C-alpha cells in the first residue's frame, strides 16, 4: 500500500517535471528556430530533451501528442492523402515592371468606392512551397500542400518535424482561437541547402538544383525522420478566412508573430503604390544578404474589408500581386569540362567558361554537379550557356541556348578512367556519382591529406595543397601520420622553402597534435562525418579508443548520428590500413582524447555573431564560416543589431551598408584571422 502511494507520488512529480520541461523546451525551440536568438547551448538543450525522454519512457501512457519529443514518428498513416482546404489556397498574379504595378493599383482603386485610401503591406516573396497549417484549439492538427488550390496533400507528419512550426500556439488560453488556418511558405535556408548538397555529393546522390526543389523533395519524404534531418523552416504570411482574422493584414501578421510563428522581418506597411515601388527597389539590395531565397516581393492590400470587396479572379486574389525580380543571369561559352576526383573517390565535373561578369564578380567556372545534370540539361562542349548564381554562392549552368548551336558542339563523354590514376571508373546503380575504384588512387590520398591539414580540420598553417603535393612526390609523406615524422631539414629543402619557413612548418605540424579529438575525427575524412558529427562523437565517447570499440547500437544511440553515419564509422575502423594510420598517429603523439579544457581555449570568438560579405582575399565563404563556428562564434547571413562583426571583402554590398547604418563593427579578413589566433 505504502509502496503504491510512493509510486503515485513519484509519478505525479515526474509528470509535472515533464510538463515543465516541455514548456521550457518549446520556449527554447521558439528562441532558436523562430527568433534566431538562442539563449542556451545545443548541449544544454539536448540535456533537457534527454531528461524529458527519460521521463516519457517511464510513463509512455502519459505522453501528449504535441510533446516536443513527438515531432518525428507521429501518425504518418495519412501522409500524402488528399485534403480539401477549408478555403482555397490562392496563388498570385505576377508583375515584372513598375508600370504593371501602377496598373494593378489603378485596378484596385477603381474597384473600391471613390476616394478610398489604399494602404499596402509589402512582403518578401519566399521561394518555397505554400502550405496551410490548421490549428484546432491551438494545436496543430493538419498540414497540407497547396495542390491545385482546392485540394492539396496531407503532409502533417512531415510538417510536424519543422521546428519553426509550433505544435501548440504560444498564446494565452483566452486568446486561443477555436480554429486557425495559417498559410505560409515551407522553405530551406540557403546554408542548409549548401550543406545538404555537399552531403549528397559525398554519398553519390544527385544534388538539388535550388533550395525550393530541395524543400519540395524534403517535404515529400515518406519517412518523416528524413524530413526532420533536412532543416526546413516556415514563414507565415496569411491567415485563411475564419477565426483569428483582424481588420488589417498587418495586424494578422503581428498576431501570427505573437502566436509563435516566424514572420519575415522585412515586411513593411506603405501608404501607396509609389512607396511600394520604392520598397521593391530597396528590397532588391537587401535580398542577396538574406539567409533564404526570395524571387520577388508581394504587395497586399492592408485592409481586410477592402480585400473582401476586391475578391478573386479564378485562382488569384484581386487584392495582391507578386513583383518578380529578373533572375541574375549571364550568357557565356562552355569551353571545357574538367573532372576531378575527390577524397571519397567521387568524380565531379566543373565547367570551364569564357570569363563573364555576374553579380559583381568575374565567373570562369561553374559547377556541373554530375553526369545526370549534364545529360538532363543536354549540355555539350562549346555550347552557349546561361548561368546564374545558385543560392548566391556557386555559379551554375541553368540552360543551353540551343538556338546558338553551330553544329560544332561535342557530346560530353562519361569518363571511363580516373583523371588522377587512370583506374577504372564505375557508376553504382541508382547513383548519379562516378567513382574511381582504385583504393590506392593518389587522388584519395592527396585530397585526404589536403583535408587533414586544412584549417577546419587539423589546422596546420602553411601546409596547403602545393606543399603537400611536393611532399608526396618526394615520397616524404604517404599518409597523414608521416607529416609528424618530417624533419626541419627535409622541410627546408622543399621548393620555395628555406630554413626559417621549414622550422615554422614543423612547429605548426607539432602544434596540430593538440588540435583535439573532434578535429582529428573530422580530419580523418570518414564518410558522412562532418565537423558537427565529429564534435558530437568526441564529446560522447571521450576517446578514439572508446569510439573504436563502440558497436552499431551504441553509435546509433547518439543523437544526430543516424544509421548511415554509424555504418560508415564502423566500416572506416574495420579497414586495416585505417587502423594502422590511427596507431601511427597515436604513436606520433597526436591527441586522441577529448579534453574539455582545450575547448575553452580554442574558442576565442565564443558568444560573438559574425556576418561575412563580399569576396575575401583568401578564404571562401563557407571556409570562413566554419572557422568562426569552430572558434565558438555564431554566423548569420543577415546583419542586425545583434551582429558583433561584419567581415567584409571586395564587392561587399548591402550588408556592409546595413552594418554602417547600424553601427556594427566592420573588419577585414586579416583582422578576422588575427582574432581567431588570439587565445
Catalytic residues: 125
* Radius of gyration, CA atoms only, the chain: 28
Nearest to 608 by CA among 665, 554, 657: 665
- Least distance in Å: CB of 280 to ligand IVH? 13
Applying CB under 6 A, among 104, 208, 238, 610 the residue interacting with ligand IVH is 238
Q: Is 139 exposed, middle or buried (0-12, 13-18, 19+ CB in 10 A)?
A: middle
Nearer to ligand IVH, 202 or 293 (CB): 293
Alpha-carbon span 486 to 584, nearest angstrom: 14
Q: Is 98 exposed, middle or buried (0-12, 13-18, 19+ CB in 10 A)?
A: middle
Strand partners, 347: 341, 434
**Which region, judged by CB under 6 A, interacts with ligand IVH, from 21-29, 84-92, 377-385, 500-508?**
84-92
Applying CB under 6 A, among 45, 208, 237, 339 the residue interacting with ligand IVH is 237
- Least distance in Å: CB of 232 to ligand IVH? 14
The residues, any chain, with a CB within 8 Å of residue 474's CB and separated by 6 or more, are: 494
- Residue that the C-alpha cell 556519382 belongs to: 433
Strand partners, 348: 340
* All cell numbers assigned to 360: 559583381
- Least distance in Å: CB of 230 to ligand IVH? 18
**Site membership for ligand IVH, residue 567 (CB under 6 A):** no
**Which region, judged by CB under 6 A, interacts with ligand IVH, from 87-95, 196-204, 330-338, 583-591?**
87-95
Applying CB under 6 A, among 36, 123, 153, 420 the residue interacting with ligand IVH is 123
Helices assigned H by DSSP within 550-594: 552-556, 563-574, 576-587
Residues of this chain, 328-387, that bind ligand IVH according to CB under 6 A: none
- Least distance in Å: CB of 394 to ligand IVH? 24
Applying CB under 6 A, among 56, 119, 185, 669 the residue interacting with ligand IVH is 185
Q: Is 283 helix (H, G, I), strand (E, B) or coil?
A: helix
**Which region, judged by CB under 6 A, interacts with ligand IVH, from 4-12, 55-63, 88-96, 425-433?**
88-96
**Site membership for ligand IVH, residue 211 (CB under 6 A):** no
- Least distance in Å: CB of 679 to ligand IVH? 46
- Least distance in Å: CB of 262 to ligand IVH? 12
**Which region, judged by CB under 6 A, interacts with ligand IVH, from 55-63, 85-93, 172-180, 633-641?**
85-93
- Least distance in Å: CB of 396 to ligand IVH? 22
Applying CB under 6 A, among 25, 34, 63, 92 the residue interacting with ligand IVH is 92
How many residues bind ligand IVH (CB under 6 A)? The answer is 15
Angle at which helix 654-662 crosses helix 273-286, to 10 degrees, equals 100
263 and 236 in contact (C-beta within 8 Å)?
Answer: yes
**Which region, judged by CB under 6 A, interacts with ligand IVH, from 61-69, 79-87, 123-131, 210-218?**
123-131
Element (H, E) at 183: strand 179-187
Q: Return the number of other C-beta atoms located less than 10 Å from residue 284's C-beta.
A: 16
Nearer to ligand IVH, 391 or 555 (CB): 391
Nearest to 377 by CA among 364, 396, 358: 396
Applying CB under 6 A, among 11, 38, 49, 91 the residue interacting with ligand IVH is 91
**Site membership for ligand IVH, residue 90 (CB under 6 A):** yes
**Which region, judged by CB under 6 A, interacts with ligand IVH, from 122-130, 200-208, 371-379, 421-429?**
122-130
Beta strands at 645-648 and 634-635: parallel, antiparallel or unpaired: unpaired
Backbone φ and ψ for 84, nearest 5 degrees, come out as -90, 125
Nearest to 581 by CA among 378, 473, 445, 471: 445
Nearer to ligand IVH, 166 or 317 (CB): 317
**Site membership for ligand IVH, residue 279 (CB under 6 A):** no
Alpha-carbon span 43 to 464, nearest angstrom: 33
End-to-end CA distance of the chain: 61
* All cell numbers assigned to 100: 504593371
Q: What is the 3-state secondary structure (H, E, C) of 104-143?
A: HHHHHHHHCCCCCCCCEEEEEEECCEEEEEEEECCEEEEE
Q: Is 389 helix (H, G, I), strand (E, B) or coil?
A: strand
Nearer to ligand IVH, 56 or 185 (CB): 185
Nearer to ligand IVH, 145 or 367 (CB): 145
Applying CB under 6 A, among 125, 190, 287, 634 the residue interacting with ligand IVH is 125
Residue number of the CB atom closest to ligand IVH: 130
Alpha-carbon span 95 to 100, nearest angstrom: 6
Nearer to ligand IVH, 125 or 528 (CB): 125
Nearer to ligand IVH, 321 or 635 (CB): 321
Q: Is 254 exposed, middle or buried (0-12, 13-18, 19+ CB in 10 A)?
A: middle
Phi-psi region of 229 (alpha: psi -120 to 50; beta: other; left: phi over 0): alpha
Strand partners, 665: 645
Nearer to ligand IVH, 91 or 282 (CB): 91
Residues of this chain, 460-499, that bind ligand IVH according to CB under 6 A: none
**Site membership for ligand IVH, residue 317 (CB under 6 A):** yes
Task: Annotate each residue in 144-183 with x if it binds ligand IVH (CB under 6 A) or - if it does not, as one string.
Answer: --x-------------------------------------
- Least distance in Å: CB of 317 to ligand IVH? 5
Nearer to ligand IVH, 142 or 195 (CB): 142
- Least distance in Å: CB of 297 to ligand IVH? 8
Q: Is the CA virtual torsion 215, 221, 226, 227 positive or negative?
A: positive
Applying CB under 6 A, among 182, 256, 322, 505 the residue interacting with ligand IVH is 322
Residues of this chain that bind ligand IVH (CB under 6 A):
90-92, 123, 125-126, 130, 146, 185, 237-238, 298, 317, 320, 322
Amino acid at each position: 500500500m505504502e509502496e503504491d502511494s510512493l509510486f503515485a507520488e513519484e509519478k505525479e512529480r515526474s509528470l509535472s517535471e515533464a510538463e515543465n520541461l516541455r514548456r521550457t523546451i518549446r520556449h527554447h525551440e521558439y528562441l532558436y528556430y523562430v527568433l534566431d536568438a538562442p539563449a542556451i547551448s545545443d548541449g544544454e538543450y539536448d540535456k533537457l530533451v534527454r531528461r524529458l525522454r527519460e521521463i516519457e519512457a517511464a510513463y509512455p501512457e502519459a505522453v501528449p501528442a504535441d510533446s516536443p519529443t513527438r515531432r518525428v514518428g507521429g501518425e504518418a498513416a495519412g501522409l500524402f492523402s488528399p485534403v480539401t482546404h477549408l478555403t482555397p489556397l490562392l496563388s498570385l498574379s505576377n508583375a515584372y515592371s513598375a508600370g504593371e504595378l501602377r496598373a494593378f493599383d489603378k485596378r484596385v482603386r477603381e474597384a473600391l468606392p471613390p476616394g478610398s485610401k489604399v494602404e499596402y503591406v509589402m512582403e518578401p516573396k519566399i521561394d518555397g512551397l505554400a502550405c496551410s497549417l490548421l490549428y484546432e484549439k491551438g494545436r496543430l492538427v493538419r498540414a497540407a500542400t497547396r495542390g491545385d488550390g482546392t485540394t492539396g496533400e496531407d503532409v502533417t507528419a512531415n510538417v510536424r518535424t519543422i521546428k519553426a512550426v509550433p505544435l501548440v500556439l504560444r498564446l494565452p488560453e483566452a486568446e486561443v482561437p477555436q480554429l486557425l488556418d495559417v498559410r505560409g511558405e515551407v522553405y530551406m535556408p540557403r546554408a542548409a541547402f549548401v550543406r545538404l548538397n555537399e552531403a549528397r555529393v559525398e554519398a553519390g546522390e544527385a544534388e538539388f538544383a535550388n533550395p525550393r526543389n530541395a524543400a519540395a523533395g524534403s517535404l515529400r519524404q515518406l519517412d518523416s525522420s528524413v524530413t526532420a534531418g533536412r532543416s526546413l523552416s516556415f514563414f507565415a504570411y496569411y491567415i485563411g478566412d475564419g477565426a483569428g482574422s483582424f481588420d488589417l493584414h498587418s495586424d494578422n501578421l503581428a498576431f501570427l508573430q505573437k502566436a509563435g510563428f516566424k514572420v519575415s522581418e522585412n515586411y513593411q506597411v506603405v501608404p501607396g503604390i509609389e512607396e511600394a515601388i520604392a520598397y521593391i527597389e530597396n528590397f532588391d539590395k537587401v535580398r542577396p544578404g538574406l539567409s533564404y531565397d526570395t524571387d520577388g516581393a508581394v504587395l497586399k492590400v492592408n485592409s481586410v474589408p477592402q480585400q473582401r470587396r476586391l475578391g478573386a479572379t479564378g485562382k488569384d486574389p484581386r487584392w495582391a500581386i507578386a513583383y518578380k525580380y529578373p533572375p541574375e543571369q549571364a550568357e557565356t561559352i562552355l569551353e571545357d569540362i574538367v573532372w576531378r576526383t575527390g577524397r571519397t573517390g567521387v568524380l565531379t565535373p566543373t565547367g570551364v567558361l569564357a570569363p563573364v561578369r555576374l553579380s559583381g564578380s568575374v565567373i570562369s567556372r561553374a559547377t556541373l554537379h554530375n553526369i545526370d545534370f549534364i545529360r538532363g540539361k543536354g549540355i555539350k562542349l562549346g555550347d552557349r550557356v546561361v548561368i546564374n548564381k545558385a543560392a548566391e554562392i556557386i555559379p551554375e549552368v541553368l540552360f543551353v541556348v540551343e538556338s546558338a548551336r553551330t553544329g560544332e558542339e561535342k557530346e560530353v563523354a562519361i569518363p571511363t578512367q580516373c583523371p588522377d590514376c587512370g583506374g577504372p571508373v564505375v557508376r553504382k546503380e541508382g547513383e548519379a556519382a562516378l567513382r574511381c575504384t582504385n583504393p590506392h588512387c593518389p587522388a584519395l590520398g592527396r585530397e585526404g591529406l589536403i583535408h587533414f591539414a586544412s584549417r577546419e580540420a587539423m589546422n596546420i598553417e602553411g601546409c596547403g595543397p602545393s606543399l603537400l603535393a611536393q611532399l608526396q612526390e618526394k615520397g616524404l609523406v604517404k599518409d597523414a601520420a608521416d607529416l609528424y615524422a618530417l624533419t626541419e631539414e627535409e622541410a627546408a629543402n622543399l621548393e620555395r622553402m628555406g630554413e626559417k619557413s621549414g622550422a615554422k612548418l614543423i612547429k605548426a605540424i607539432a602544434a596540430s597534435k593538440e588540435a583535439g579529438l573532434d578535429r582529428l575525427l573530422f580530419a580523418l575524412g570518414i564518410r558522412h562525418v562532418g565537423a558537427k558529427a565529429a564534435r558530437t562523437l568526441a564529446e560522447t565517447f571521450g576517446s578514439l579508443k572508446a569510439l573504436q570499440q563502440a558497436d552499431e547500437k551504441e553509435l546509433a544511440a547518439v543523437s544526430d548520428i543516424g544509421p548511415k553515419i554509424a555504418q560508415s564509422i564502423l566500416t572506416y575502423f574495420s579497414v586495416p590500413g585505417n587502423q594502422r594510420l590511427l596507431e601511427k598517429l597515436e604513436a606520433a603523439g597526436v591527441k586522441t582524447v577529448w579534453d574539455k579544457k582545450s575547448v575553452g581555449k580554442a574558442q576565442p570568438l565564443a558568444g560573438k555573431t559574425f556576418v561575412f560579405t563580399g569576396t575575401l582575399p583568401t578564404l571562401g565563404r563557407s571556409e570562413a564560416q566554419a572557422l568562426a563556428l569552430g572558434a565558438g562564434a555564431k554566423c548569420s547571413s543577415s546583419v542586425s543589431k545583434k551582429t558583433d562583426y561584419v567581415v567584409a571583402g571586395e564587392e561587399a554590398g548591402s550588408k556592409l551598408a546595413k552594418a554602417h547604418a547600424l553601427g556594427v563593427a566592420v573588419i577585414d579578413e586579416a583582422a578576422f584571422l588575427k582574432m581567431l589566433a588570439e587565445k
